[in-house]
Each structure stands twice: as structure tokens, then as C-alpha cells.
């Protein structure tokens, strides 16, 4: 959700490798006078090398597993610290937060015209996100939102069938571009992650795994081909809508409904997302869109930044009947609902607190299960924040609140990252399977277009 306008923000701020010694040795024997001795020595030497490699692999394996195992034993014997804040920090050290939705890229566009030299992410940035606070908040990864506004947000009329030309595909590419520039510029901190494997790898090396999400299929130029190309550029989720309806689906933000949920092209879009491994994100969609997409998707889905409607009535929150479609098993779809911190989604005016956000988490956990809830703060995309959750440095406060409510360590590890990783891995597996089956790319195109498949116009 973008609650600030860019205009408002602008006004507010003004040598060649040496041969390996391991390889050099046998080569020496090749020139040996005694050929038979040379051969057996070479064999012995290769055996030695092999033993050497296996020895070190075993040592590394034992050290890695022993330290993991030893710290588990220490935790079990000594237990977590009594102080929930200290306990939260201990848990997050092993299971850092992966946030489903951070709007840093649009802030950088709005304040700095995407000039990465115009600010220092290692310093203090306006709003809610910079590197010092990400580290304080024990963040292990987040989706950088590559967002371009809906027509109604920028006074543009797409026309009733979304056929007016726009710059949104360009703007989306610019937002992917600035995200990658920043990930590269601050590569001591960030690492681009395209797969769950990349995320584990980044976290293991103390980096913040950086994934890219596209906040609305209105950014796809009505075209499934654009979806495929945005995937190759690194995006790993597409929210089916933002606050506007588009050629694929209805949004919760515009009435009346245009498609009654998904359009025919929307079903094809989901097929293609499943096939390539792009996560289907149902935040911002209408309830009918969400229900239809949940039923149709072969892969697990996400809500990258939505809370619980039963806790606080808001169209952007997920109602219980949809939460009850989420799960593992017959007639259910695996998913993770990543809770949004926007005060007006969370509680009545003035009442949004860290406790109120925890209420949303607990409600989703109660209805869908603890394996189906995550965090999607919407930091940098919300105009204000709950008391106690003012920016990305504050996630430990929320974890401390859940510890007070008797959440276990493993429940919390699910919330902070394991649930999202399971869902993402599930989508990767489905894509792998469909590709192995030889499912073809989706060739469907928007039937309102008149520029394709018209021989007589060549």
C-alpha cells in the first residue's frame, strides 16, 4: 500500500591463476623415467589428494554440525534467557526476519530520483529502512518492492479496458534496476537471491538476502511475455493487483468489480507463474480474486503484506473464510500470510501497537495455522507505524511480545522465515515439475489487443 504520494514526499524533503599445487604433483610423475612406477605413484598421489579432500570435507561437516548441535544443546539445557527481549535476539540470531514487503525502492525514486549517489544507506535514511536499522532489527532478508503506481494514483486514465499506453513497464524496470544497483553497491550487506538456496546461502554468510517483488499485474503491460522477462530479471513474486483492477484480476481497492475475480487472462497468468516459479501474491486483490487464485494455483501462494480482517476490518486484510482455505492437505492450498504493520490495517486510529500486530499474527495462526503466518511490514510504504514497531530495527520487540504469549522457538522461526521459505521452495518444486513435464509457455494474449495475430495488418 502506498499511502504517501511521491509529490508529497518531494515537498517534504527537499592474475592468471597459478596451477594448483595439487595438480602439479601428478604432472611431475608423468615425466618420470620409470613409467610403471610413475603410474602407480600417480595413482597413489591422486588417492592422497582424494583422502585429503574427504578429510577436510568431514572436518568442515563435523564443525558445522557440531556448532549447530552444540548451540541447540546449550539452548535446551540452559534454556532461552528469561528476559523476552534477550530471548528474541537469541532466536533471531539463528532465524532472522525475512520481510515480504519493503518499499525502499519507491522511496529512493520519490526522494532521490533513483540516484544511488544521493544518499548513504549506511547512514540514516528518512522513513523506516537503512542498513544500521536493518542490522539492529536482525533482518536476514526482504523483498524489495519494484512498484509503479496505479493510474488513479497518478491522475492517469487507463481507459475501461486498460488499453491506454502507459510508462509502467519502463517504471517497473527502473525500480528493478535501482534495487539491483543498491544491492550491488552495498554488497557487504546485501546479496541478490533468486532461489531459496540463494536465501539460505546469503543468510549463512551474514548477508541480507534480497529478493524482488512486483506490486501489481498492472505493471505487466497486459502481457504474459512481460511476466516471463521480469522473472528473468530477478523478480520472484507478482502481486495480482495493486489498488486498481487490471487485465488479469480485480483489486479490493476499486468498486464495482470488473471480472468477478480473475479474468480469463488472469487464469493463464497464474498457470504461467506456476510454470516459471513466480510466486502468486494475493495482497491487494479482491476476495473473489483471492479465492479463485487459491483454488487455481498449483503452487503455494503468499500474501506479501496483509493482516487479519477479523481482528480489524479493512478490505486489505484477509477474511477468515479465505484463511480457512489455507493449509496443508486436502482442499487446502499452502500459503503464508505476511502481516502488514500499516496502522489503519492493524487497529482503530491511535490504537496500533506492537501488541495489536501480535493479535493479527495470533489470529492468522489460530485460523490457518502457525505454519502459515509471516511478516510483511510494508515499511517505507506506510505513512505512520504502530507504537513499538517504528522501523526495521524493531522486529525483536514483536518477537518478544510473542514469547510473552508463549510462542515457542520453532513457532517463531516459522514466522520469521521458515514458513516463507517452505512456500517459496514449494513454488520452485512445482515449476521444476511442470517444466520437466514439458508444459509449454502460455501464449494467451489479452483479447482486447488488436496489434497481435492480424495477418492483414502486416
Ligand X SMILES: *[C@@H]1O[C@H](CO)[C@@H](O)[C@H](O)[C@H]1NC(C)=O
Give me the residues that bind ligand X (CB under 6 A), please.
115, 117-118, 156-157, 159-160, 164, 330-331, 405-406
Binding string, residues 155-174; x marks residues near Zn ion by CB under 5 A = --------------------
Cβ 369 to ligand X, closest distance in Å?
15
Minimum CB separation of residue 454 from ligand X in Å reads: 20
**DSSP secondary structure code for residue 20 in this structure:** P
Identify what 331 binds: Zn ion, ligand X, none; CB under 5 to 8 Å per kind: ligand X
* Beta bridge pairs of residue 146: 214
Under a CB-based contact definition with an 8 Å cutoff, are residues 341 and 316 in contact? Answer: no
φ, ψ of residue 97 to 5 degrees: the values are: -70, 135
159 binds, among ligand X, Zn ion, none (CB under 5 to 8 A by kind): ligand X
Is residue 30 annotated as a catalytic residue, yes or no? no
What's the CA gap between 343 and 363, in Å, rounded?
A: 17
Q: Which residues pair with 190 in a beta bridge?
A: 208
Q: Is 242 an annotated catalytic residue? A: yes
Q: How far is the CB of 115 from ligand X (least distance, A)?
A: 4
CB closer to ligand X, 20 vs 117? 117
Catalytic residue among 99, 103, 250, 401: 103
Output 369 or 383, the one with its CB closest to ligand X. Answer: 369
CB 418, min distance to ligand X, A: 23
d(CA 414, CA 328): 15
- In angstroms, the Cα distances linking 391 to 69, 103, 129, 308, 354 are 33, 12, 7, 21, 12
Long-range contacts of 22-30 (CB under 8 A, 24+ apart): 22/49, 22/52, 25/49
Query: 378 catalytic, yes or no?
Result: yes
Contacts of 19 by beta carbon, 8 Å cutoff, 6+ apart: none
Q: Please state, in angstroms and rounded to a whole number, the distance separating the CA atoms of residues 247 and 449.
A: 11
By a kind-dependent CB cut-off of 5 to 8 A, residue 440 interacts, out of Zn ion, ligand X, none, with none
Q: Which is nearer to Zn ion, 138 or 286 (CB)?
A: 286
Report in angstroms how near the CB of residue 332 gets to ligand X at its nearest: 8
Distance in Å, CB of 177 to ligand X, minimum = 14
Q: Residue 330 binds which entry of Zn ion, ligand X, none, with Cβ cut-offs from 5 to 8 Å by kind?
A: ligand X
Annotated active-site residue in 215, 281, 334, 411: 215
Binding mask 1-20 for Zn ion (x = CB under 5 A): x-------------------
Nearer to ligand X, 36 or 406 (CB): 406
Closer residue to ligand X, CB minimum distance, 164 or 313: 164
Among 99, 128, 198, 242, the one annotated catalytic = 242
DSSP SS3 for 19: coil
Q: Is 314 one of the annotated active-site residues of the chain?
A: no
Q: How far is the CB of 319 from ligand X (least distance, A)?
A: 19
Closer by beta carbon to ligand X, 164 or else 229:
164
**How many whole angstroms separate alpha carbon 270 and alpha carbon 280?**
7
| Pick 103 or 272: Cβ nearer Zn ion | 103
Q: How many chain residues bind Zn ion (CB under 5 A)?
A: 1
DSSP 3-state of 350: coil
C-alpha angle 215-347-304 in degrees, rounded to nearest 5: 20
Say how far apart CA 167 and CA 228 lie, in whole Å. 18
Alpha helices, DSSP H, located in 260-394:
264-276, 287-296, 320-323, 343-346, 354-367
Q: Which does 1 bind (CB under 5 to 8 A by kind): Zn ion, ligand X, none?
A: Zn ion
Helix (H) or strand (E) holding 280: strand 279-281
Residue 164 binds which entry of Zn ion, ligand X, none, with Cβ cut-offs from 5 to 8 Å by kind? ligand X
Q: Say which entry of Zn ion, ligand X, none residue 232 contacts (CB below 5 to 8 A, set by partner kind).
A: none
Phi, psi of 142, deg, nearest 5: -160, 160
Contact 271, 246 (CB under 8 A): no
3-state secondary structure of 415: helix
Catalytic residue among 284, 312, 314, 372: 284
As beta bridge partners, residue 214 has: 146, 238
284 noted as active-site residue: yes
Angle in degrees, 0-180, between the axes of helices 196-204 and 419-436, rounded to the nearest 10:
140
Which residue has its beta carbon closest to ligand X?
A: 159
User: Which residues contact Zn ion (rule: CB under 5 A)?
Assistant: 1
Catalytic residues: 101, 103, 215, 242, 284, 305, 378
Amino acid at each position: 500500500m502506498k499511502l504517501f504520494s511521491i509529490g508529497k514526499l518531494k515537498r517534504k524533503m527537499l592474475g592468471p591463476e597459478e596451477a594448483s599445487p595439487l595438480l602439479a604433483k601428478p604432472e611431475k610423475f608423468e615425466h618420470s623415467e620409470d613409467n610403471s612406477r610413475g603410474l602407480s605413484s600417480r595413482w597413489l598421489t591422486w588417492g592422497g589428494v582424494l583422502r585429503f579432500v574427504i578429510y577436510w570435507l568431514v572436518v568442515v561437516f563435523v564443525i558445522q554440525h557440531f556448532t549447530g548441535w552444540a548451540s541447540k544443546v546449550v539452548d535446551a539445557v540452559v534454556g532461552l534467557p528469561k528476559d523476552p527481549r534477550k530471548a528474541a535476539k537469541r532466536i533471531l540470531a539463528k532465524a532472522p526476519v525475512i520481510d515480504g514487503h519493503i518499499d525502499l525502492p519507491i522511496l529512493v525514486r520519490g526522494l532521490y530520483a533513483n540516484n544511488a549517489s544521493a544518499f548513504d544507506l549506511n547512514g540514516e535514511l528518512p522513513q523506516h529502512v537503512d542498513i544500521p536499522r536493518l542490522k539492529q532489527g536482525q533482518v536476514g532478508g526482504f523483498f524489495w518492492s519494484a512498484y509503479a503506481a496505479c493510474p488513479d494514483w497518478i491522475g492517469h486514465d487507463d481507459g475501461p479496458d486498460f488499453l491506454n499506453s502507459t510508462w509502467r513497464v519502463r517504471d517497473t524496470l527502473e525500480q528493478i534496476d535501482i534495487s539491483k544497483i543498491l544491492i550491488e553497491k552495498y554488497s557487504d550487506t546485501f546479496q541478490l537471491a533468486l532461489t531459496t538456496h540463494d536465501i539460505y546461502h546469503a543468510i549463512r554468510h551474514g548477508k541480507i538476502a534480497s529478493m524482488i517483488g512486483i506490486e501489481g499485474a498492472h505493471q505487466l503491460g497486459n502481457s504474459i511475455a512481460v511476466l516471463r522477462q521480469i522473472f528473468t530479471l530477478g523478480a520472484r513474486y507478482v502481486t495480482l493487483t495493486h489498488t486498481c483492477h487490471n487485465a488479469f484480476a480485480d483489486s479490493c481497492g476499486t468498486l464495482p468489480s470488473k471480472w468477478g475475480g480473475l479474468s480469463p487472462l488472469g487464469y493463464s497468468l497464474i498457470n504461467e507463474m506456476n510454470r516459471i516459479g513466480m510466486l502468486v501474491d494475493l495482497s491487494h486483490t479482491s476476495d473473489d480474486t483471492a479465492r479463485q487464485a487459491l483454488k487455481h494455483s498449483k503452487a503455494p501462494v503468499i500474501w506479501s503484506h496483509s493482516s487479519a480482517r477479523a481482528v480489524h476490518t479493512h478490505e486489505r486484510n484477509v477474511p477468515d473464510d479465505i484463511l480457512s482455505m489455507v493449509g496443508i492437505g486436502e482442499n487446502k492450498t499452502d500459503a503464508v500470510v505476511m502481516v502488514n504493520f500499516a496502522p489503519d490495517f492493524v487497529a482503530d486510529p491511535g490504537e496500533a501497537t506492537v501488541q495489536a500486530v501480535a493479535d493479527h499474527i495470533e489470529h492468522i495462526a489460530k485460523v490457518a495455522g502457525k505454519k502459515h503466518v509471516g511478516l510483511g511490514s510494508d515499511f517505507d510504504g506506510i505513512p505512520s507505524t504502530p507504537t513499538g514497531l517504528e522501523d526495521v530495527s524493531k522486529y525483536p520487540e514483536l518477537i518478544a511480545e510473542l514469547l510473552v504469549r508463549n510462542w515457542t522457538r520453532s513457532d517463531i522461526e516459522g514466522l520469521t522465515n521458515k514458513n516463507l521459505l517452505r512456500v517459496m521452495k514449494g513454488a520452485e518444486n512445482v515449476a521444476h515439475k511442470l517444466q520437466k513435464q514439458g508444459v509449454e509457455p502460455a501464449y494467451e494474449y489479452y483479447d482486447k489487443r488488436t496489434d497481435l495475430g492480424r495477418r492483414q495488418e502486416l
